[in-house]
Structure 1
Amino acid sequence: MEFADSLELAASLPDSLGPLVADIDGTLTNDTRTIDPRVSPIINSWPAPVVIATGKAMPYPVALCEFLGIEINVIAENGGVALAGRSGRIQFEGDRAAAAAVAEEYERQGYDVGWGAADLVNRWRETEIAVSRDSPLAPLRSIAADHGLEVVDTGYAYHVKSAEQSKGRALSVLAEELGYERDAFLAVGDSVNDVATFEVAGLSVAVGNADDAATEAADHVTESAFGDGFLEAVLWLSEQGNS
């Protein structure tokens, strides 16, 4: 689909569409993790609230909302941080101190979280720690378990977090604050960390590059991958909205 076609799709979105919750990496991006420019008019024209839900730290989805020109409804850190609107209250779920202790022990044992001295991946995290997938997973899981935490492999990083925090749990909170039932939401994602979102939302779509967990949990799986998959998902959801 060309950019002009995405503009046409944006203009034809049915008013009956419910609020959207969309992942970033692997869903709104291409295979180099660059935001697909074709998703911008779709999200900007969505007829109901849009929630950006990601494993990234809070500044990333906030900035994306700013640049897309939509309200700041965000879920960050796999549900560890959530905010409904810029005037809302930032909510936290997780144990940053325990996650930091896991990272410290991991490094004491001779491993590296893998992001370099600046560590921009973790610099603004408040509820979890992310480790590069180039680093060994088995010792990380073992240390995390010793601290009562779990490790989730999103396909982009290993996330050390509390078992209680999830995008789905955060979405349940935001749904109430935004004045919607949970099953009114339409979800699009690509990873195991989107499964909890799919379980909460009324309809869910996994893009073609999704992992097995997301594919099995979704109501629909697109043939296309990444940004193309997102646009295909929008077409499918629009058809459901018009049915």
Structure 2
Amino acid sequence: MTETPPLLVDIDGTLTDESRAVDPRVFPVLREWPEPVVIATGKAMPFPIGLCEFLGIERTVVAENGGVVFVEATDELQLRGDHEAALAVGEAYRDLGHELGFGVVDLANRWRETELVVSLDQPLAPLKRLADEYGLVVLDTGFAYHVTDPSVDKGTGLEAVCDELGLAPGDFLAVGDSENDAEAFDVAGEAVAVANADATATARADRVTDAAYADGFLEAVAPYRPA
């Protein structure tokens, strides 16, 4: 068995099935991983924190595509990115007659601290134009449009985690499925895209699994697990 590296892993499309339900087969893998595990996602921090909490693993997360970083071992929380600009884009978008698309309560944005998300069924062109006016970018993760600061991403988030833990990004195995994983792929020691990954993630990965979604994750980590 190859020496086990620290692990950075996405949630949606990587630990889940196509309906976005987390596959329970990943639970023992994450619980038993002998090196640090970083949950890196475009979701707001309560989601990866909750996943870690119920898995019983240390709460080390990169949320909001690098905008939020929390490392339980050092009790360090970092917020990066221009949230005010993201909120201004949302207001301007609504002024044009569009909606964010997540209903009145809007659980997708309710706990966000650095970016804004818009449903994929809303028009993209005006959102991109407004984001550009405010110096922001729009990421299509396959699950939502993320209006975010171009100075942060999952790669910078991983670097921040490494600074806290005394590790190097190149120590890590990174597994993901989307363009928002690409920057983490660039700095990780090994990057694996699951078979359902988009073209950007696939192009930046060191290898691509034959299997999709959580099956792909299990394939990605198989060389580092006992037979």
Q: Which of the residues 122, 126, 131 maps onto 1:135?
A: 122
Q: Does 1:174 align with 2:156?
A: no
Q: Does 1:210 align with 2:210?
A: no
1:194 match: secondary structure:
helix
Q: Which of the residues 43, 49, 52 maps onto 2:30?
A: 43
Distance 1:66 1:134 in 2: 32
Q: Which of the residues 161, 165, 175 maps onto 2:148?
A: 161
The code of the aligned residue for 2:21 comes to T
2:175 match: secondary structure:
strand
Q: Does 1:198 align with 2:185?
A: yes
Please, what TM-score do these two structures have when normalized by structure 2?
Answer: 0.97
Distance 2:5 2:163 in 1: 14
- RMSD of the TM alignment (CA)? 1.4
1:61-80 equivalence runs, <5 A: 61-80=48-67
Distance 1:236 1:194 in 2: 21
Structure 1 unpaired stretches of 5+: 1-13
Give the superposition deviation at 1:15.
7.8
Deviation string, structure 1 residues 164-189 (Cα, Å, up to 9, x no partner): 01000010110121121210011000
1:24-35 equivalence runs, <5 A: 24-35=11-22
1:90 match: secondary structure:
strand
Please, what TM-score do these two structures have when normalized by structure 1?
Answer: 0.91
Distance 2:163 2:224 in 1: 22
Q: Which of the residues 203, 219, 224 maps onto 2:206?
A: 219
Report if the CA contact (8 A) 1:65-1:71 is conserved: yes
Deviation string, structure 1 residues 45-101 (Cα, Å, up to 9, x no partner): 001010000000000000000011100000000000001116512101101100000
Equivalent residue number for residue 146 of structure 1: 133
Deviation string, structure 1 residues 153-209 (Cα, Å, up to 9, x no partner): 010000001100100001011012112121001100000000000011100100000
Structure 2 unpaired stretches of 5+: none
Distance 1:76 1:86 in 2: 17
Q: Does 1:124 align with 2:111?
A: yes
Q: Percent identity?
A: 54
Deviation string, structure 1 residues 79-130 (Cα, Å, up to 9, x no partner): 0000111651210110110000000000000000000000000000000000
